């Protein structure tokens, strides 16, 4: 009887040790994702995407930042401390960002020299600017609402795309549906109501895909969610 009890006790101990080892390994190899919203938006606009990434096993940091208060470079530097305090330097850190947040992400990833940067996915990011910003840049209303960063979204301001210095792979998702016919009238070619598909291209991108989604709905689209997850795992989109 004692031998049977000892056998069960040993089996239970081995099972517990095995589970502990698995949990420790899973924690050590876990990956992180920094999520950045677009200009004049909030972290809650990215909540659906954050939920999907969390459910997929990623540790997610969905950051709020004052996107209209300062130039893009300053906004990125101001996010250094929240990222350093909220995430681990030993885990691979990915970025997923909407609209202007993709430009902030490029600067932020470069500045995080003590982090192991993984992949970056941009959603409707105006890497080459937007004709909408061109048309409105001198408007008092535009200046008041979008601040210094808004002035950096013109096609002239973005003649040279911000280099990709840290991330292993850059994937870009562009939309080609619009709910803003006036803005689309200003934009040549296919667009998402704010940014031309052609303007989302980046010199250092590894893959690019177009989805039938309007600009404000990119972070909420299930099609986009599926593509983001696939790119983070495979460095390419589903084609």
pLDDT tens, 213-231? 999 999 999 999 999 999 9
pLDDT band at 4 (very low <50, low <70, confident <90, very high): very low
pLDDT, position 21? 40
Q: Average pLDDT in the 77-85 region?
A: 96
Whether the pLDDT of residue 15 is over 50: the answer is no
CATH topology (fold) of 31-234: Rossmann fold (3.40.50)
- Report pLDDT for 168: 83
**The pTM is what?**
0.86
pLDDT of residue 11: 44
pLDDT category at 152 given cuts 50, 70, 90 is: very high
Q: What region does 181 belong to: left with phi over 0, alpha with psi -120 to 50, or beta?
A: alpha
Q: Is the pLDDT of residue 174 over 80?
A: yes
| CA neighbor of 196 nearest in space, from 206, 180, 42 | 180
Over residues 63-84, mean pLDDT: 96
pLDDT tier, 2 (very low <50, low <70, confident <90, very high otherwise): low
- Residues 6 or more apart whose CB falls under 8 angstroms from that of 26 comprise none
The lowest-confidence range among 2-11, 42-51, 128-137 is 2-11
What lies within 8 Å, CB to CB, of 84 at 6+ separation is 112, 114
pLDDT in the model for residue 177: 97
The candidate with the shortest Cα–Cα distance to 153, out of 110, 107, 200, 192, is 200
DSSP code for 125: -
The residues spanned by each domain of the chain are 1-29, 31-234
């Amino acid at each position: 009887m004692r031998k049977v009890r000892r056998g069960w006790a040993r089996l239970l101990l081995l099972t517990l040790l095995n589970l502990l080892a698995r949990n420790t390994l899973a924690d050590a190899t876990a990956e992180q994702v920094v999520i950045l919203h677009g200009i004049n938006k909030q972290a809650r606009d990215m909540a659906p995407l954050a939920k999907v990434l969390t459910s997929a096993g990623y540790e997610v940091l969905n950051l709020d930042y004052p996107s209209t208060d300062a130039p893009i470079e300053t906004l990125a530097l101001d996010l250094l401390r929240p990222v350093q305090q909220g995430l681990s330097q030993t885990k691979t850190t990915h970025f997923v960002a909407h609209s202007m947040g993709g430009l902030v992400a490029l600067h932020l990833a470069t500045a995080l020299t003590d982090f192991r940067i993984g992949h970056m996915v941009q959603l409707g990011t105006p890497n080459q600017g937007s004709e909408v910003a061109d048309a409105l840049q001198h408007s008092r209303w535009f200046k008041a609402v979008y601040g210094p960063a808004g002035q950096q979204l013109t096609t002239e301001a973005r003649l040279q795309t911000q280099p990709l210095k840290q991330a292993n792979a850059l994937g870009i998702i562009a939309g080609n549906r619009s709910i803003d016919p006036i803005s689309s009238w200003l934009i040549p070619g296919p667009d998402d109501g704010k940014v031309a598909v052609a303007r989302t291209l980046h010199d250092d991108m590894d893959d690019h895909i177009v989805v039938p989604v309007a600009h404000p709905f990119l972070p909420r689209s299930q099609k986009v969610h599926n593509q983001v997850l696939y790119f983070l795992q495979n460095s390419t989109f589903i084609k």
